[in-house]
Amino acid sequence: MNSTPRFAITGHPNKGKSSIVATLAEDETVGISEIPGTTRDAHSYPMCMDGETLYELIDTPGFQRAREMLEWLKNSETSVADRRASLNRFIQEFANDPRFHDECELLKPIMKGAGILYVVDGARPYGSEYESEMQILQWTGQPRMALINLIGGEEHVSEWRRALDQYFSIVRVFDAQHADFKKRIDLLRAFQALDESWFASLDLAIGVLEENRAQRLHRAAREIAELLLAVMCKRESAQLDDENIDLQLQSSLVSKLKDNIREREEQCCDVLQQICGHTKLERNIERNQLLQEDIFSERSFSLFGLSNTQLAITGAASGAVAGGGLDMMVGGASLFLGAGIGAVVGGVSAIFAARQISDVEVLGSPIGGYELHVGPVSDVNFPWVVLGRVVLFYRLVSERNHALRDAIAVSSESANSFSESMNMKQRQVLSDLFKQIREHQLIDSKGMVSLVRQIENLCK
């Protein structure tokens, strides 16, 4: 037997086979048709690491003439030991017969050694028409697992279990549309039990997938950190004839600055989607209305930014740390007044700074003339808004199941809960990092590492 585990996803048409493949293969391109029986050919969905296939899922057509096929098999059977041979004969005989095209397509990978994942819908009652299918699969003698897919509920799960237990060594309930990463890994572990020769490959695959997930998170956090750095340092400039500010030019530079920031955020979201394997999301559905809100709008600032109270508390905490430094320097001789004064100054300045959108200045040099600089955006809340928007977007995309074809649902509460989800320490560390970027227009590599780590924690 081939040691690379292969699993043929089989079953009645329209019972969620493709959804299961889409979820397990994290492939949003799997065609999930409204019309049953449109999958006419088997399609392979391998999981590869550096080109080496660790396991393979095969989406197969559903049974169309199972009764007739079973009768043919029964008629041609000479003994129980001859059943696999009968199936092979069937494939040979009907390979070019369009009437049994679907049956041949679904049986071929199984007869070549693929394990069977038989999918049924737990929301619908068991029916006698399934029996022929299950008998045929039993005839193959291949390792088999039944998956009760919860497309519309779990009303008939126990009824299905009773039927499936007779034909399958393992029966699992699996919600293809809402299964999270852990449940998918659990399912892969269950596959290991089907055939011990697959254990090592699947074990490696599970390890790789877990590692890959951690890397995705890290890459996404790095991408978000890059975005923050870029938009916080972004500025526009133009040459001036003299040192007087040209208001029209200033206005066009501000617009250009905002457009560039919007474009950069959009670009980051595209990469985040790609990291999560949701490249079609943009084409299929509009990004959620809430996230379509302009980054500079009042609503974005009120939804994703920190409230004045949070800003004041965070600013106060940072100020207190700075003031605390003074106390340490004087060995506490200031009776810890330093921390108190620092907190008040920090808090007030944080609120005050929240009212400015961007810096405008004219830089002159006696040799080179004058330049009008617009930016970077100096609003204290700006990085929080950007961070809130992209982290929320990443959370939604990363948790999104690849079998889903509907729109992302985001509530204002989930946006609001972002700032609430951060604890004081996180807010303070981020606030200090933002301050470093704002003041120096750069961040050192240690700061970058810290920023990425903070974002990783928020994205989890």
Partner 1 sequence: MPEIRERSGRTLFEDTVNILHFLEADRAAPYAKRQHRDRQIGQGACENILDQPLKTVQCWWQQISADRPGEHNEGNKLIRVRGLVGLAAVVFGLLSGLGVIAAVFQYDGSHPINVVTLIAVFVILQSVFIGTSLLMLLPGQNFLSRALASLNVGAMISGIMHRTLLKSSSSSVFFMGTSDHTQAHNLLLRWQLFSWSQLLGCAFNTGALLGAVLLIVFTDLAFGWSSTLMFETVQFQKLIYLVSLPWAGIWPDASPTQALIEQSRFYRLGAEQATPFIAQSLTAWWPFVVACILSYGLLPRVVLLSISRVFVQRALATLLMDNPQVISLLDRMRTPEVALGSPVLISPEMLLDEEPHAKPNSISGSVPLIIWADAAERFQLLSRLEKDSSVQVSQAYKAGGACSMAEDMETITTLLEKRSDSILIAVKSWEPPLNDMLDFIALLRQKCGDKTQIILFPLGPDLSVADQQEVRIWRHASKRLSDAQLFVEPDL
Smallest distance from partner 1 to CB 389, Å:
19
* 316 binding partner 1? (CB under 8 A): no
Nearest to 304 by CA among 221, 382, 400: 382
* 277 binding partner 1? (CB under 8 A): yes
Determine the Cα–Cα distance for residues 79 and 81; give it in Å rounded to an integer. Answer: 5
* 62 binding partner 1? (CB under 8 A): yes
> In terms of CB distance, is 275 or 392 closer to partner 1?
275
Nearest to 183 by CA among 173, 193, 192: 173
CA distances from 100 to 40, 96, 104, 105, 129 (A): 11, 8, 6, 9, 17
* 26 binding partner 1? (CB under 8 A): yes
* 201 binding partner 1? (CB under 8 A): no
* 212 binding partner 1? (CB under 8 A): yes
* 207 binding partner 1? (CB under 8 A): no
- With residue 212 as reference, give the H or E element that holds it: helix 199-233
Contact pattern from residue 413 through residue 442 relative to partner 1, giving x for each residue in contact according to CB under 8 A and a dash for the rest = ---------------------------xxx
CA distances from 196 to 58, 125, 151, 378 (A): 20, 33, 30, 61
Residue carrying structure tokens 């992302």 = 408
* 64 binding partner 1? (CB under 8 A): yes
In the range 216-255, which residues lie near partner 1 by CB under 8 A?
219, 222-223, 225-226, 229-230, 233-237, 239
* 262 binding partner 1? (CB under 8 A): no
- Which residues are paired to 45 by β-bridges? 57
In the range 31-60, which residues lie near partner 1 by CB under 8 A?
31-38, 43-51
DSSP structural state of residue 100: G
Contact 119, 20 (CB under 8 A): yes
In the range 357-386, which residues lie near partner 1 by CB under 8 A?
365, 367-369, 371
The binder of partner 1 chosen from 7, 16, 63, 143 (CB under 8 A): 63
CA angle 13, 14, 18 (to 5 degrees): 95
* 19 binding partner 1? (CB under 8 A): no
Smallest distance from partner 1 to CB 142, Å:
22
> In terms of CB distance, is 29 or 308 closer to partner 1?
29
